[in-house]
Chain A
Amino acid sequence: MRLLRIRLSHFRGVHDREVTLAEDGITVLQGENEVGKTTTVRALDLLVDAPDSSRRADVRAAAPAGIDAGPEVEAEILTGPYRFVYRKRWLRRPLTELTLTAPAALQLTGAEAHARVVAILDETMDRDLWRALRVEQHTPAGQARLGGHDALTRALDRAAGGPDAAAPANQGTHVTGTAHAGTDSDLVERAEAELRRYRTPNGRPTGELREAEERSAGARVEHERCRHAVDAVEDDVAERERLDAESAALDRRRREHQAHVAELEDRWSGLQSRLREVETAHGHAVLLRERAESAGARAQARRALVAAADEAARTATRTGEIVAEHHDARTAARKERDARHAEHQRARTAAGLAREQARAADAALARAHDHAELADLEARLQRVADAEEGRRAADAELAAISVDEDTVETLDRLARDVLRAEAAQEAGSARVELVVPDTAAGAPELRLDGEPAHLAPGQTRRLPVRAALSVSLPGQLDVHVRPGRDGHALADAVRAAVEELATACADAGVVGPDAARAALRRAEDARRHRHDHELTVDRELAGRSLAEVRAARETLRDRLGGSDAAPATVRTDGVPDREQLRAAATTARAAADDAAAHAEETDHLRGLAEEAVREVETTAALAAQRAADARHAHECRAAELTDARTTAPDAELDTDAADGLARAREAENAHESLAAALAADDPDSVEALVVNARRVDERLNADTVALDRTRAETTGRLQSAGHQGWHDQLLAAEIELDAATREHTAVARRARAAHRLHDTLLRHRDAVRRAYVAPFRSEVERLARIVFGPSLSLEVDEALRITHRTLAGVTVPFDELSSGAQEQLALCARLACAALVDPADGVPVVIDDALGHSDPDRLARLGAVFTAATSRGAGQILVLTCTPERYRGVGAATVVALTPSRPPAREPAREPMGWDRTVATREVARDVGEDPPAAALPPTG
């Protein structure tokens, strides 16, 4: 497809502008930002894709701002054999017009026109390639996805395969094949989708295939289970049969064995009766032997009895002799004892007398003591009575005296008050000093208050004036001294004190303080005397009360019996008498003791004699007893013997013993012969056989029981299994297994088919792609060497992507190249496509402001690349740029400078001359008819 001309009206910011492009080679659209370069390309997309009725977002976005008009695009396009002008308006008064000029003139409008254009483009151009070959503004200049585009594929087919291999098929399908444009790669995707229904990318089963496998496995397990169950039942049936046979055989054996046992039992019971006979014989022999032995024993006993009777007779005789001997000894002993007894009686009488005397002496002594003590007590009582008298006197005196310490003290104080008052009076009153000069011839006759007073020369006498005083030298002189007023007061105080003292004395019953003190002293004395008397009483009573002492005196008096004679004796010759009495008592006691000792001794001797007598008598009694016993025993034995001989005489017993012995021997012999006969028949063996046979019988019984149990178990299992319907379950499981297997087979078959198809398609696609790589790479390298120099080589993968660049021997992965280098290589790849694709199939390559990463040197070289890409007459290249310098180096370029196209200020400019018509600076001479044929391209590589 080639775009010859495009006009935009009321389209976004463009008011109205027509751009004419070079039909072949490069057209550079240059202009400032927002002048509408990219919009121009977008408008072409919209013209082709959107029906005039569309209100898509991009259509609405194309509406001009502030003007009531629909966006409109008109383009003149040359594609395949068609050449047409196509015009569309959206939103306001929608419009579609198609004017075909080649191959035949035709005009269409509306939806018909739109459909026709879509058909024409689908038929003649590869729209995917059209998009792939654009470098959009502001998008990373990555590599285009070039694999799988029909036009490129055909071009590469041509380049790779040459004319012979693919040409006829391709020629044949060239036109119709385009109807399937894009299905090849789709087909691989669909085949993969189909494969993914069955297997994951890792090759594991999934979806239907996995379900089928699981179902199949489950069915196999279930079938196995049912078959096992059925087999188990079959086994049980066989087991039951075997058990039945075994049980029958066992029954037979038991019956046989029971016959054998019966026979043995018969034999054994015969032997048993004989055994019992032998035992009876044995018992008889034992009995006879015992009888014989008892007869012998009786004979023996008789002999012993006779011997015992003889012995008893001898013993009786001997004991009688002994008794006689003892009688004499007893008589002697008694005589001796009587003598001793008499002696003792005597001694005892003497001792009694002596003791009486001693007692009398003691009594006399005691009496003497009592008298002495009574006298003492009487004296004491007398002294106590005296003391009591004294004490009572003292008490009376004390009672009479009412003065105590306090009284004395009070009186003293009052006396001192009198003194003090007097002193005060003296001090306060005038004093009269009477002085007799030394020189005086003698003592004057002086009278004081009428009283003579003596005063020697040189003496002085002072007199207080207490009251009216008169000093007079009789005859010569009378001096009357009267006290003042103060002297009276003092005198009153003295008087008061004196009165108070007098009153106190009267109260205390004393004359004055001195008398009081004397009374106090007397009281003190009386108290002391009283105390002395109390001490005396205590001493005389010696701790006892007076009543006790008096009682003791009364006791003594009673004891002495009131005889007045004795006290007199005692009183008269008390002390010597008592000593005498004491000596006499002592002597008497000694005599009594001696007598007692003697009596004791005789008593002892008497006791000894007594003892001897008893001893002799005991011995005698004993001997008499023995003699009696012996006599009795002798009598008994004799009676016994007599009795025994009455029942069985001695001779008869001896005969019995001999006969019994003979019979016992006979019975023993009979037993031995019987036992020997039985032993000859070997009863032990028979018994062993019988025991064994019984055991065997038991064992057979046990076997039968065990067998019956096993049989019952098996039968029980069979019964329960019978109701399970295992046959039906097995059949169901078989059917399920069959169905599952069939399903699995079918699914697996589909899975295999999908795998095979996918595999085959991939293999062929890869083979084709590998074939495409070489021509594509050589074309890219041809262009890229212009930029990077002749040492460049590239690696291209099967998807026609550049993977590595090698420059001067250094290989770098594409992704690690600088942005500039990536951009340049990507551009080269696109231009290579444009150069490779048949001009008839080709689409414009649009470069929208690329090469921003390239330095000036590279830019210059890229210009050469553009030229080289178009030098073979292939393709239309449209470069949009706001920096024209980048593309200065492009030699063969048609440059179109775009200026802003704004609506006129007032009137809507509708006339053709108002259009901002940009004229191409370079006229392109070719037209459709002069397109070079596809075969004219030289094969590459």
Chain B
Amino acid sequence: MRFVHTADWQLGMTRRFLAAGSNTGRAVGSAGEAQARFAQARLDAVRTLGALADAEGAAFVLVCGDVFESNLVGRDVVARACEALRSFTTPVLLLPGNHDPADAACVLRRSDFVRRCPPHVTVLDRPGVHQVADGVEVVAAPWSSKHPVSDLVADQLAELGPAPAGTIRIMAGHGGLDTLAPDTSDPALIRSASVHPALADGRIHYLALGDRHSTWTDATGRVRYPGAPEVTHHDEVDPGNVLVVDVHADPNGRADPTNEVRARSVPVGRWRFVRHQAALDTDADLDALDGWLAARADKESTAVRLGLVGTLTLRQRARLDELVAAHSHVYAAVELSRRRSQLVTRPDDADLGALDLVGFAASAARELHGAARDEANGADTAPVDRELDDAASTEARDALGLLHRLVAR
């Protein structure tokens, strides 16, 4: 039996950095449009995985939670999602996750969704065993609120008996596994201790999970996260995949750990969220950064987050700003990570000499120059208060920059 395991479509998601600059009055066109393209790409990923399911002859597509980014998404998002679901014929099972729990506001029960939803789509908003095909059962553990107070998967497993002979039983759940979570105090974490016995005694044959946006599998290969079909965050590892899972039923209902489950990870996402860390101290470093940015493929569907460390002169800083601005016209987004960047701008004597001033203007320039340098130095020694010191030194530097512009005028 073959099915497509996916999760975390997060339809209706927006990314702030994709809209960045859209309202500063400079780069209106590309950036506002990037957000729209990103939204479209998420829908395209759904169409792609549907086509994949059709092509692979999958029995169904199991979506383990977070179909929508929120229960409060607008009608347009719902309508487009339904349209994407309509593009293929393989039956689809939608499990409410933590973003779209089956509470009173559940989008999967909303009238606009129900009306538009194509007939091959089933919402697993009722916990328990669902007969989805001959000899195939899906045990659903849907979220019924945003803050469940128990391990929903374990709750279902506790009530299950062994699967009938010849029946493949797949558990669909959503949430973090306790072995992956740093904080184990969350009562809703899925306990491995209750999952493994169930897999071992044949109550279930495969645990399909959602919530983790990176593709992941455990040692047995029977507990898997497919990851988001389209990237959503820079921190994700190997996103943009769906899993094509083959489960072979043992006639006596026992699990065979050696060859029972085979899963293939198939990429469907096209977007890339990329981090780039670089040291910037010289013009050569700037050249390298420029080269790196220029060399990337698929720029229009790539969002780059730069972590830059180093010390630049006023002129170099201006060049960096120009360089980033120029590339951000092509890329979906180019942004500086505040957290991972530590750039110091320190005006040098050449900056001052270029001004070529006399009299009080010269002495004013010298004062600003000194302030910018001093405070920049101070910032290096006290990184904790960098923000505050930055403000003062930045002001002096900006004033110096302005002076450059006014003199040049």
Chain A residues whose CB sits within 8 angstroms of the CB of B110 once the complex forms: 719, 722-723
Of residues 736 through 763 on chain A, the ones whose CB sits less than 8 Å from some CB of chain B are 736, 738-740, 742-743, 746, 749-750, 752-754, 756-757, 760-761, 763
**Which of the segments A42-50, A234-242, A380-388, A787-795 contacts the partner chain?**
A234-242
Residue of A nearest to B368 (CB): A760
Of residues 181 through 214 on chain B, the ones whose CB sits less than 8 Å from some CB of chain A are none
Our pick among B24, B105, B356 for the contact of A233 (Cβ within 8 Å) is B105
B401 is an interface residue with CB less than 8 A from chain A: yes
Our pick among B104, B359, B399 for the contact of A714 (Cβ within 8 Å) is B104
Judging by beta carbons under 8 Å apart, are B359 and A194 in contact? no
Would you give the shortest CB distance from A128 to chain B, in whole angstroms? 15
Chain B residues whose CB sits within 8 angstroms of the CB of A718 once the complex forms: 104-105
Judging by beta carbons under 8 Å apart, are B407 and A184 in contact? no
Rounded to whole angstroms, the CA-CA distance of A234 and B360 in the bound complex is 62
B71 is an interface residue with CB less than 8 A from chain A: yes
A710 is an interface residue with CB less than 8 A from chain B: no
Judging by beta carbons under 8 Å apart, are A194 and B402 in contact? yes
B232 is an interface residue with CB less than 8 A from chain A: no
Judging by beta carbons under 8 Å apart, are A756 and B398 in contact? yes
Would you give the shortest CB distance from B371 to chain A, in whole angstroms? 9
Chain B residues whose CB sits within 8 angstroms of the CB of A715 once the complex forms: 104
Judging by beta carbons under 8 Å apart, are A241 and B360 in contact? no
1/0 contact string of A678-720 vs chain B (CB within 8 Å): 0000000000000000000000000000000000001100110
Our pick among B146, B362, B403 for the contact of A757 (Cβ within 8 Å) is B403
B409 is an interface residue with CB less than 8 A from chain A: yes
Rounded to whole angstroms, the CA-CA distance of A726 and B45 in the bound complex is 25
Residue of A nearest to B22 (CB): A739
Judging by beta carbons under 8 Å apart, are A726 and B24 in contact? no
Rounded to whole angstroms, the CA-CA distance of A545 and B38 in the bound complex is 153
Our pick among B24, B73, B360, B396 for the contact of A728 (Cβ within 8 Å) is B73
Judging by beta carbons under 8 Å apart, are B105 and A180 in contact? no
With most chain B CB atoms within 10 A of its CB, the pick from A714, A724, A728, A736 is A728
Would you give the shortest CB distance from A799 to chain B, in whole angstroms? 13
Would you give the shortest CB distance from A13 to chain B, in whole angstroms? 44
B328 is an interface residue with CB less than 8 A from chain A: no
Residue of A nearest to B396 (CB): A756
B237 is an interface residue with CB less than 8 A from chain A: no
Chain B residues whose CB sits within 8 angstroms of the CB of A756 once the complex forms: 368, 395-396, 398-399
Would you give the shortest CB distance from B294 to chain A, in whole angstroms? 26
A493 is an interface residue with CB less than 8 A from chain B: no
Rounded to whole angstroms, the CA-CA distance of A727 and B146 in the bound complex is 15
With most chain A CB atoms within 10 A of its CB, the pick from B19, B361, B396, B400 is B361
Residue of B nearest to A735 (CB): B19
Rounded to whole angstroms, the CA-CA distance of A163 and B360 in the bound complex is 17
A738 touching B73 in the complex, CB below 8 Å, given contacts A170-B358, A177-B358, A760-B364: no
Judging by beta carbons under 8 Å apart, are A743 and B23 in contact? yes
Residue of A nearest to B112 (CB): A723
Would you give the shortest CB distance from A79 to chain B, in whole angstroms? 21
B1 is an interface residue with CB less than 8 A from chain A: no
Of residues 187 through 223 on chain A, the ones whose CB sits less than 8 Å from some CB of chain B are 187, 190-191, 194, 215
Judging by beta carbons under 8 Å apart, are B398 and A725 in contact? no
Chain A residues whose CB sits within 8 angstroms of the CB of B395 once the complex forms: 749, 752-753, 756
Of residues 105 through 120 on chain B, the ones whose CB sits less than 8 Å from some CB of chain A are 105, 107, 110-112
Judging by beta carbons under 8 Å apart, are B72 and A169 in contact? no
Rounded to whole angstroms, the CA-CA distance of A768 and B401 in the bound complex is 23
A-B interface pairs (CB < 8 A), number: 167
Residue of B nearest to A191 (CB): B406
With most chain A CB atoms within 10 A of its CB, the pick from B16, B23, B112, B409 is B23
Our pick among B21, B145, B357 for the contact of A180 (Cβ within 8 Å) is B357
Our pick among B23, B71, B77, B403 for the contact of A736 (Cβ within 8 Å) is B23
Chain A residues whose CB sits within 8 angstroms of the CB of B363 once the complex forms: 764, 767-768
1/0 contact string of A488-514 vs chain B (CB within 8 Å): 000000000000000000000000000
Judging by beta carbons under 8 Å apart, are A728 and B74 in contact? yes
A53 is an interface residue with CB less than 8 A from chain B: no
Our pick among B103, B111, B362 for the contact of A241 (Cβ within 8 Å) is B103
Our pick among B20, B72, B103, B398 for the contact of A749 (Cβ within 8 Å) is B398
B91 is an interface residue with CB less than 8 A from chain A: no
Judging by beta carbons under 8 Å apart, are B406 and A194 in contact? yes
Rounded to whole angstroms, the CA-CA distance of A719 and B109 in the bound complex is 10
Rounded to whole angstroms, the CA-CA distance of A727 and B100 in the bound complex is 11
Rounded to whole angstroms, the CA-CA distance of A731 and B406 in the bound complex is 40
Judging by beta carbons under 8 Å apart, are B359 and A721 in contact? no
B69 is an interface residue with CB less than 8 A from chain A: yes
Chain B residues whose CB sits within 8 angstroms of the CB of A725 once the complex forms: 72-77
A901 is an interface residue with CB less than 8 A from chain B: no
Rounded to whole angstroms, the CA-CA distance of A756 and B359 in the bound complex is 18
Chain A residues whose CB sits within 8 angstroms of the CB of B21 once the complex forms: 739
Judging by beta carbons under 8 Å apart, are A184 and B360 in contact? yes
Of residues 148 through 201 on chain B, the ones whose CB sits less than 8 Å from some CB of chain A are none
Would you give the shortest CB distance from A415 to chain B, in whole angstroms? 157
A184 touching B71 in the complex, CB below 8 Å, given contacts A718-B104, A735-B19, A736-B23: no
Chain A residues whose CB sits within 8 angstroms of the CB of B285 once the complex forms: none
Rounded to whole angstroms, the CA-CA distance of A729 and B74 in the bound complex is 8
B70 is an interface residue with CB less than 8 A from chain A: yes
Rounded to whole angstroms, the CA-CA distance of A732 and B112 in the bound complex is 22
Chain B residues whose CB sits within 8 angstroms of the CB of A726 once the complex forms: 72
Residue of A nearest to B398 (CB): A753
With most chain B CB atoms within 10 A of its CB, the pick from A157, A723, A724, A761 is A761
Judging by beta carbons under 8 Å apart, are A757 and B105 in contact? no
Of residues 57 through 85 on chain B, the ones whose CB sits less than 8 Å from some CB of chain A are 69-77
A284 is an interface residue with CB less than 8 A from chain B: no
B12 is an interface residue with CB less than 8 A from chain A: yes
Judging by beta carbons under 8 Å apart, are A739 and B23 in contact? yes
Chain B residues whose CB sits within 8 angstroms of the CB of A746 once the complex forms: 24
Would you give the shortest CB distance from A243 to chain B, in whole angstroms? 9
A230 is an interface residue with CB less than 8 A from chain B: yes
Judging by beta carbons under 8 Å apart, are A187 and B361 in contact? yes
Judging by beta carbons under 8 Å apart, are B364 and A240 in contact? no
Chain B residues whose CB sits within 8 angstroms of the CB of A194 once the complex forms: 402, 406
B14 is an interface residue with CB less than 8 A from chain A: yes
Judging by beta carbons under 8 Å apart, are A722 and B105 in contact? yes
Residue of A nearest to B24 (CB): A743
Judging by beta carbons under 8 Å apart, are A721 and B72 in contact? yes
A183 is an interface residue with CB less than 8 A from chain B: yes
Of residues 29 through 77 on chain B, the ones whose CB sits less than 8 Å from some CB of chain A are 35, 69-77
Our pick among A215, A721, A752 for the contact of B398 (Cβ within 8 Å) is A752
Rounded to whole angstroms, the CA-CA distance of A173 and B358 in the bound complex is 7
B394 is an interface residue with CB less than 8 A from chain A: yes
Our pick among B22, B111, B112, B407 for the contact of A183 (Cβ within 8 Å) is B407
A734 is an interface residue with CB less than 8 A from chain B: yes
Judging by beta carbons under 8 Å apart, are B74 and A727 in contact? yes
Judging by beta carbons under 8 Å apart, are A728 and B398 in contact? no
Judging by beta carbons under 8 Å apart, are B14 and A722 in contact? no
A237 touching B104 in the complex, CB below 8 Å, given contacts A190-B409, A735-B16, A760-B368: yes
Rounded to whole angstroms, the CA-CA distance of A230 and B74 in the bound complex is 12
Rounded to whole angstroms, the CA-CA distance of A811 and B395 in the bound complex is 45
Chain A residues whose CB sits within 8 angstroms of the CB of B112 once the complex forms: 722-723
Chain B residues whose CB sits within 8 angstroms of the CB of A180 once the complex forms: 356-358
With most chain A CB atoms within 10 A of its CB, the pick from B20, B398, B406, B407 is B406
B287 is an interface residue with CB less than 8 A from chain A: no
Query: Told that A170-B358, A764-B360, A768-B360 touch, could you supply 20 new A-B pairs with CB distance under 8 A?
Result: A153-B359, A187-B406, A191-B402, A191-B406, A194-B406, A215-B23, A230-B72, A233-B71, A240-B104, A241-B103, A241-B104, A723-B74, A727-B69, A727-B73, A729-B74, A732-B14, A735-B16, A742-B24, A749-B398, A756-B396
Query: Can you pick out 29 interface pairs between chain A and chain B where the beta carbons lie within 8 Å of each other?
Result: A169-B362, A183-B357, A184-B361, A187-B357, A187-B361, A190-B406, A194-B402, A233-B71, A234-B146, A718-B105, A719-B111, A723-B75, A727-B72, A728-B12, A728-B72, A728-B77, A734-B16, A739-B24, A742-B24, A749-B394, A753-B395, A753-B398, A753-B399, A756-B395, A757-B368, A757-B400, A763-B364, A767-B363, A768-B359
